[in-house]
Amino acid sequence: MAQKRRTKGPGPSQGEDLAADEDFAPTPSASQVQRSLERLSPAQVDQKVSELVQYLLVKDQKKIPIKRADILKNVIKDYRSVYSEIIKRAGRTLQQVFGLQLVEIDPKHHIYILVSNLPRLEVENLKQDDCTAKLGLLTVILSFLFMKGNAAKESAVWEMLRRLRVDPGVRHEVFGDVKKLVTEEFVRQKYLEYNRIPHTDPPEFEFQWGARAAKETSKMQILRFVAKIQNKDPRAWSTQYTEAAAEEAAGGDLFQDISTPGDTGGASQGARRRTR
Amino acid sequence: MATQMTDGHRRFLQVLMSHGIMEGSVARTLHRDCCEIHKVYYAHDKLDDFINVVNIHLQPFFMQIRKGMSEDDGRTYYALVNLAETEITKMASDYTENELELFRKTIFFFLQMDVIIISESGFASSTDILNLADQLKTKKMKKKEAEQVLQNLVQDKWLSERDGEYTLHTRCIMEMEQYILSNYQDLVRKCNICHSLAIQSQVCETCGIGMHLPCAGKYFKAQTEPHCPHCNEFWPHEIPEINRPDSQLPSSAPRERRRTPSSGTRRR
């Protein structure tokens, strides 16, 4: 059972699959960490915390999830014994200064992203450039997926986009290689999941929401978006509304069960229906 | 306590971080909106104080929100800059060592250009830069690769491009000012009016002092016979028109410059 790493929680996390991470020695106990800390000067530890904060900010700028292995290799280095303390403090600093939360989206492989802690606004002051256009495209795809029962075949997504004059086979004036953007960039950034449908030959693929999408928006927000476009009340879609409301009620921690790609777990989010 | 970070400060910082650089009026609007949303004390003329609060908290990370001026239009810009080039920022950087070398050579080229040509250019053609790619120490860069690096540098706002010519982006100048001033002391020109680093400049052909174009525009405004403030010789260049900043947006139509309306201006 995976546990989301909270920045306010105790230093060492329980339930980590250490076998998956050869680089990392057995998790030191809280008292061991404390003893290691005492041997280092506060300035040294502070320096490492600062370096980690800078590293996380720079890495996250490209929206590429950050691996713990890279953090250890590039930043922590000889301070492994107090890694848990360093990352705890870095998380706290990110919240206090930047309003960003360090979220572990994959507790098995220890992968992190930064998410804004600040209340989401209706209209964000976004960069008016290709970034906004890409987010618009992504929102459309996420909406489609949700309305289709949280997953849709690749072919269905392309057909939907074609109707909006965004053709994966044709170079788009704003998005360029649409197929690459959707199946590679959005997937790498964890906005979408692109999984092979088992027992299909030739292999077929389907899209689902990615871990970052689940963190940065919500089913209710997406449903409201769809409702707004179609000029209806969100309750007009009773099934989706119920699902979105349930997600809201569950509140805060949307990551009770983090599934690795392909895993059909995550039952806490309600039944996931698939259309084939 | 007046130095506490509030959500208003944090939102401002997040938005600025995602833009990288922001024009003054946009920053002021953002300041107002952030304070309004999070019910934080707001005074329209206290943006710099607001930013100082953020900067105090950014100190340990060698980051700072800096205020600078665009060499193109003289407008104020705010940018979030990295003050120290530590191993962390280098490794996490989007560019390979080879690409960074090309970039450093390009900076050197801009600085050097001025000494040789004594013009107000500050722009380099893509050919100039591609030639530099040929001279890289570690590994020569093929033309196609160099072109891609150039594109990336423009997209990331290190260089700005207009009509196939390149110059250092305001954001780059703001971020690298310290680096350039310390590493290229002998080559750099500082503006005689505002004393900041000047990449694009007008230069007095007699005594060699230089000025940013917007600074020259302001200094010589409405003077019928502009003279060098240092050696008093005639100022031989067209004085930039600065009254209408929207006519001088970077990377749009070629810069328009009206001649100073006078009978006495002589140009060599």
> What is the distance between the alpha carbons of residues B62 and A184, in angstroms, rounded to a whole number?
34
Give the pLDDT score at A12. 42
Residues of A in Cβ contact (< 8 Å) with B93: 58
Is residue A5 classed as helix, strand or coil in its secondary structure? coil
User: Please, what is the angle between helix A130-147 and helix A154-163, to 10°?
Assistant: 120
Burial class (CB in 10 A: 0-12, 13-18, 19+), B51: buried
Is any Cβ of chain B less than 8 angstroms from the Cβ of A132? no
Binary contact (B88, A127; C-beta < 8 A): no
- Checking if the pLDDT of B113 tops 70, the result is no
Over pLDDT 90: what percentage of chain A? Answer: 43
**How far A71 CA lies from chain B's nearest CA (Å)?**
10
Residues of A in Cβ contact (< 8 Å) with B19: 127
Give the pLDDT score at A263. 29
Kindly indicate the confidence band of residue B255, based on its pLDDT and cuts at 50, 70 and 90: very low
Is any Cβ of chain A less than 8 angstroms from the Cβ of B1? no
Expressed in percent and rounded to 5, the helix, strand and coil fractions of chain B are 45, 15, 45
Instruction: Tell me the DSSP string of A12-23.
Output: SPTT--GGG-TT
Contacts of A180 (CB under 8 A, 6+ apart): none
Which of A25-39, A134-148, B186-200 is the least confident region?
A25-39
Closest chain A residue to the Cα of B89, Cα to Cα: A55
Residues of A in Cβ contact (< 8 Å) with B63: 54
Interface subset of A 48-107, CB within 8 angstroms of B: 50-51, 53-55, 57-59, 61-62, 74-75, 96-100
Contacts of B104 (CB under 8 A, 6+ apart): none
What's the predicted TM-score (pTM) here? 0.68
Give the pLDDT score at B112. 64
* Cα A59 versus chain centre, distance: 14
Compare CB distances from A62 to B10, B86, B94 and report the shortest one's residue.
Answer: B94
Residues of A in Cβ contact (< 8 Å) with B7: 99, 118-119
| A61-72 average pLDDT score | 88
* Spatial contact of B22 and B73, defined as CB atoms under 8 Å apart: no
pLDDT digits (tens, 9 = 90+) for A149-165: 999 999 999 999 999 88
**How far A64 CA lies from chain B's nearest CA (Å)?**
12
- Checking if the pLDDT of A270 tops 60, the result is no
pLDDT digits (tens, 9 = 90+) for B179-210: 777 777 777 788 999 998 888 888 888 888 98
Burial A13-40 (b: 16+ CB within 10 A, else e): beebeeeebeeeeebbeeebbeebbeeb
Binary contact (B14, A116; C-beta < 8 A): yes
Binary contact (B63, A54; C-beta < 8 A): yes
Give the pLDDT score at A10. 41
Binary contact (A97, B57; C-beta < 8 A): yes
| B74-96 average pLDDT score | 75
Compare CB distances from B14 to A53, A59, A99 and report the shortest one's residue.
Answer: A99
Binary contact (A74, B88; C-beta < 8 A): yes
Which of A61-75, B137-151, B156-170 is the least confident region?
B137-151
- Checking if the pLDDT of A259 tops 70, the result is no
